[in-house]
Structure 1
Amino acid sequence: MNSMQMWSSRFRKFFLDNKFVLFLLVLLLIGLNILVFMKTSFIFTPLIVLVKTIALPIILTGVVYYLLNPIVNLLERFRVKRIFSILLLYIVIIGMITVTIVSIIPFLQAQMMSLFHNLPKYVDTVEDQIRQLTGSNFITQAQKNMNFNVSELVSKASSQATKILESTFTGVGTFLGALTEIIISIVTVPFILFYLLKDGKKLPDYFLKFIPNKFREHTHIVLHEMNHRLSSYILGQIIVSFCIGVLLLIGYLIIGLDYALLLAIIAACTSVVPYLGPTIAITPAIVIALVTSPVMLLKLIIVWTVVQLIEGKFISPQVMGKNLHIHPITIIFVLLTAGKLFSVVGIIVAIPTYAVLKVITTHLFDWFKMRSNLYKEEKV
């Protein structure tokens, strides 16, 4: 018996009471779990398919929910029943979508068709400007040596893009066949959104029922902070993007830049992605301005500088504030990594996902520090 107690004491001393050995055992268990998951991943195929199926509707519904929920809450304060507020918002949104389809979409289609048709001319103009600047025919020589013609390639690409665009706008059946999954997701959004707006406040309490009593208070704090970060980011980023699009449209119209509305919409959509979005948005505007004239390029630079100053100094600080507390370098790395792993969708959801994970990780680390003795300050 004494011998058993002695071995038990040694085992506890060298393994259970040794934090480094315990850390290695935890790593070993994590590695074994990963290995088992890799060998039996086929078991989780139905779950993966389910997640892929519901991911897009949930993301779209979440974005729209954070946009409309403040309006519903505001109407509720004025003693308008929540269900009536939701129905009123649906009527307004349907009206706005109808007006957009009837009035704006045909105009955008005409601008896009014109842009595709004029691409070969733009390339020829750029070539002429480069020849004038360099005083040589190195582009023509390079085309002969590499056995290709830039104008011909652009012309083919332009005609192909025009055909695709025409089939997209006119061939509704083909469009629906190619994008069935996206269409189904968009169709399901209003139904999910209705119940989420109606009963969304009850979800945290329902979720907390599955959490042990001693963790409920802290879990409630974490959920509240996650909800605050997500709502602040999504609502703020969309408002900022809308403001950028409007300011650029006004600036483009003032300087007389071609395809002003199309370029402003592209800038507003890409501005949803911080830092990288504006860089992508300005590229087509620079090409069109450069082809038009050097003076137009200078005007474009002035417009973009003014808009970026207004956005950086006035709009973003007021709308976004500093709710995320994420360093710009971290944002860039997160965007690049998410884009590499999950393409465009990853870039769009990278920052809010990182914000949620940061909240969870921070609270878990605080809980770990509270439970362990590793971070207690030593008294001198």
Structure 2
Amino acid sequence: MNSTTIWTERFKRFFLNNRFVLSLLVLLLIGLNIRVYATVSYIFLPVIALVKTMFLPVLLTGIAYYLLNPIVDLLEKRGIRRSASIVLLYLIVVALIALLVTIVVPFIRVQIESLLDNFPRYSKQVELQVAEIVGSGLFERLRQTFSFDPAEYMQRAAGYLAGFFNNAWTRIGAVVGAVTEVVLSVVMTPLILFYLLRDGRRLPRYIVKFVPTALRGQTLDVMSEMNQQISSYIRGQIIVSFCIGLLLYVGYLVIGLDYSLVLAVFAACTSVVPYLGPAIAIAPALIIAIVTSPIMLLKMVVVWTIVQLVEGKFISPQIMGKNLHIHPITILFVILTAGKLFGIVGIILAIPGYAILKVVAVHLFRWLRRRSRLYEPSPGGGE
């Protein structure tokens, strides 16, 4: 055996047949690709523009699809053709929207206008009440006892809340400037949704045609599990949010809190985001309750606590179940990280996005484990 053959065998043994070294080489190639693509990122500008343009219509279409597809499937099982079922469902949705616009929206608009007009006064009253508490001597005793100044933190909190909502109303004006994009998205959504509801079941089979034949079965399994995760989350979260809004509206009406419908709708919308949503939704209700009276504040806290207990102990376990299998601490970190990276869109899409990545990672790990044969049972029968 000559020296060339010997070096060739050593190279194969220590590099090509060494999974650790091979893994490092793969990671190195991935890093080099990322570096090259980052350097010439300008060539992806048309693709990025296309993604930004289609993002909102596709997002709205996806949410509507997962909400309406079970109804279309049910109508089809009852003997109604799928296209006719979709048209019938569209007519029902249009009728419900028209009813909502004519009855509920005007009442909400009046409450929102009144709240916007009175919010500066509410903020000022909160600051005055904080100043009154500070001057009572209670905070001075706390400062001397615990060596910190709670008055400063209370004033900061009041100023932060007032600034947050004042900026929120300013940002609403900026959102109105993007009305053209929203209108186009709303117009495109029903058109895309119609074809997705009609032919959506064929989409996975069409996609797997681009996958190698040996991986098509596993790819269909991954897509099926991803579909189940997304559908469970979207349907469950919207139903939970609706229940929270309804319970809060009834509770606010019982205690006589002002702007009960607006506050309940706001809470229902923000509850789409787990954990962080309720913390955001309670802020305006707290301010209005504080301004009204201390008794109203106590009543509001009681109502909010009861609703959160009912939602956490009964509604979410029954509707959401344990489909996502994600620990609450993981959910919190995922939401915070996604919000830091992508803003409000990241917060909304954090959990379904994480669920999809988790499905892909689990199946990829199982595939690599079978290929590597590193996790086979030992000859002695142990794990």
Q: Distance in 1 between matches of 2:134 and 2:56?
A: 50
Q: Which residue of 1 aligns with 2:58?
A: 58
Q: Tell me by how many angstroms 1:287 deviates.
A: 0.8
Which residue type is aligned with residue 31 of structure 2?
G
Q: Distance in 1 between matches of 2:277 and 2:124?
A: 28
Conserved in 1, the CA contact under 8 Å of 2:286 and 2:300?
yes
Which residue type is aligned with residue 21 of structure 2?
V
Q: Distance in 1 between matches of 2:38 and 2:349?
A: 26
Q: Which residue of 2 aligns with 1:91?
A: 91
Q: Distance in 2 between matches of 1:252 and 1:13?
A: 73
Q: Distance in 1 between matches of 2:43 and 2:207?
A: 27
Aligned-partner SS, 1:79: coil
Q: Distance in 1 between matches of 2:213 and 2:202?
A: 18
Which residue type is aligned with residue 193 of structure 2?
L
Q: Tell me by how many angstroms 1:36 deviates.
A: 1.1
Q: Tell me by how many angstroms 1:362 deviates.
A: 0.4
Q: Which residue of 2 aligns with 1:69?
A: 69
Q: Which residue of 2 aligns with 1:245?
A: 245
Deviation by residue 1:292-350 (Cα, 9 ceiling, x = unmatched) = 11111111111111111111111111111000000111111111111111111111111
Q: Tell me by how many angstroms 1:212 deviates.
A: 2.0
Q: Tell me by how many angstroms 1:161 deviates.
A: 4.9
Q: Does 1:116 align with 2:112?
A: no
Q: Distance in 2 between matches of 1:266 and 1:351?
A: 21
Deviation by residue 1:239-261 (Cα, 9 ceiling, x = unmatched) = 00001100100000000000000
Q: Distance in 1 between matches of 2:47 and 2:103?
A: 43
Deviation by residue 1:91-126 (Cα, 9 ceiling, x = unmatched) = 111111112222222221211111122123223322
Change (3 A) 1:92 1:10: same
Deviation by residue 1:24-62 (Cα, 9 ceiling, x = unmatched) = 211221121111111221222212221221121111100
Q: Which residue of 2 aligns with 1:79?
A: 79
Q: Which residue of 2 aligns with 1:18?
A: 18
Q: Does 1:285 align with 2:285?
A: yes
Q: Which residue of 2 aligns with 1:326?
A: 326
Q: Distance in 1 between matches of 2:372 and 2:320?
A: 36
**What are the equivalent positions in structure 2 for 1:305-320 lying under 5 Å apart?**
305-320=305-320
Q: Does 1:190 align with 2:190?
A: yes
Q: Distance in 2 between matches of 1:190 and 1:58?
A: 11
Provide the TM-score with structure 2 as the length reference. Answer: 0.88
**What are the equivalent positions in structure 2 for 1:330-349 lying under 5 Å apart?**
330-349=330-349
Q: Which residue of 1 aligns with 2:148?
A: none
Q: Tell me by how many angstroms 1:288 deviates.
A: 0.6
Q: Does 1:218 align with 2:229?
A: no
Q: Which residue of 2 aligns with 1:171?
A: none
Q: Distance in 2 between matches of 1:32 and 1:374?
A: 28
Aligned length: 359
**What are the equivalent positions in structure 2 for 1:350-361 lying under 5 Å apart?**
350-361=350-361
Higher alpha-carbon deviation: 243-252 or 216-225: 216-225
Higher alpha-carbon deviation: 102-111 or 253-262: 102-111
The runs of 5 or more residues in structure 1 that have no matched partner are 143-149, 169-173
Aligned-partner SS, 2:210: coil
Q: Which residue of 1 aligns with 2:27?
A: 27
**What are the equivalent positions in structure 2 for 1:85-234 lying under 5 Å apart?**
85-135=85-135, 161=169, 175=176, 178-234=178-234
Which residue type is aligned with residue 183 of structure 2?
I
Which residue type is aligned with residue 179 of structure 1?
V
Q: Tell me by how many angstroms 1:136 deviates.
A: 5.9
Provide the TM-score with structure 1 as the length reference. Answer: 0.88
Aligned-partner SS, 1:209: helix
Q: Distance in 2 between matches of 1:75 and 1:125?
A: 55
Q: Which residue of 1 aligns with 2:144?
A: none
Q: Distance in 1 between matches of 2:355 and 2:368?
A: 20
Q: Tell me by how many angstroms 1:351 deviates.
A: 0.7
Which residue type is aligned with residue 44 of structure 2?
F
Aligned-partner SS, 1:257: coil
Change (3 A) 1:7 1:131: closer
Deviation by residue 1:72-103 (Cα, 9 ceiling, x = unmatched) = 11111111111111111111111111122222
Which residue type is aligned with residue 314 of structure 1?
F
Q: Distance in 2 between matches of 1:185 and 1:245?
A: 26
Change (3 A) 1:217 1:161: closer
C-alpha root-mean-square deviation of aligned residues, in Å?
2.5
Q: Distance in 2 between matches of 1:8 and 1:377?
A: 33
